[in-house]
């Protein structure tokens, strides 16, 4: 198995990792209700997609306490 001859310098490691930073999530906004959304996703608040209604908005769930 091939083994590195020399230790990689801190500068070289840093240069490689210069591109590893995470970028903030991109949001779009629902044209119907203005809620922040991930792109290409049905609005979770009003159930619309590309300006038309494709799904019922989720009803508020009752709090179920399964644990005592
Ligand atoms: Zn919406």
For the entire predicted model, the pTM comes to 0.50
Question: Residue 45 contacts by C-beta under 8 Å, 6 or more apart in sequence?
Answer: 30, 33, 35, 57
Distance (Å) from CA 17 to ligand 1 centroid: 38
Distance (Å) from CA 50 to ligand 1 centroid: 10
Chain center to CA of 9: 34
Residues at Cβ < 5 Å from ligand 1 ion: 30, 32-33, 35, 43, 45-46
Q: What is the pLDDT of residues 19-63, one digit of tens each?
A: 999 999 899 998 888 899 999 989 888 888 887 888 777 776 666
Q: Is 68's pLDDT higher than 70?
A: no
Secondary structure (3-state) at 68: coil
Distance (Å) from CA 3 to ligand 1 centroid: 56
CA distance 56 to 45: 9
Higher pLDDT, 65 or 48: 48
Alpha helices by DSSP H, listed for 1-68, are 10-17
Distance (Å) from CA 29 to ligand 1 centroid: 8
Q: What is the pLDDT of residues 4-22, one digit of tens each?
A: 999 999 999 999 999 999 9
């Amino acid at each position: 198995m091939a083994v590195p001859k020399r230790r990689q310098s801190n500068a070289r490691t840093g240069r490689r990792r210069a591109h590893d930073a995470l970028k903030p999530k991109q949001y779009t906004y629902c044209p119907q209700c203005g809620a922040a959304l991930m792109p290409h996703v049905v609005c979770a608040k009003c159930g619309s997609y590309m300006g038309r209604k494709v799904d019922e908005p989720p009803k508020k769930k009752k709090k179920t306490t399964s644990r005592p």
